Amino acid sequence: MNKHSSVPYVLLIDIEDKLAEIIYEYDAIELTQALAKSVNKEVPVTDAKDPFISSTRDVLRENIDCLSDDEKFEFIAQVQKLSYVKHNSELMDAINKLAK
């Protein structure tokens, strides 16, 4: 994946939105938490029953926001490898736009 000085916000939101359509809050927490732990960070949302979180999209936005740009690119690279993502052409298109 091409590294940029910063992650294009609009493309990141598009990826988060499309990913939120195919996973549950628990999965979003698990995915973001795994990457955060690998870089010695903690994500703010760790409980799918958090009263301030109303959707998978909220979980993704909150937890991805705490990552650096390089970590966001790494998260997207890891997500891209998941079988349910590979079979979602809209999500893969959004990821590929970010990679350009």
CA 55 and chain centroid, separation: 14
Give yes or no for residue 42 having a pLDDT over 50: yes
Q: What is the mean pLDDT of residues 12-41?
A: 94
pLDDT band at 1 (very low <50, low <70, confident <90, very high): very low
d(C-alpha 90, C-alpha 19), whole Å: 10
Give the model's pLDDT for residue 62: 95
Residue of 100, 97, 90 whose CA lies nearest to 12:
97
d(C-alpha 52, C-alpha 77), whole Å: 28
Instruction: Please state whether the predicted TM-score (pTM) of the whole model is above 0.85.
Output: no
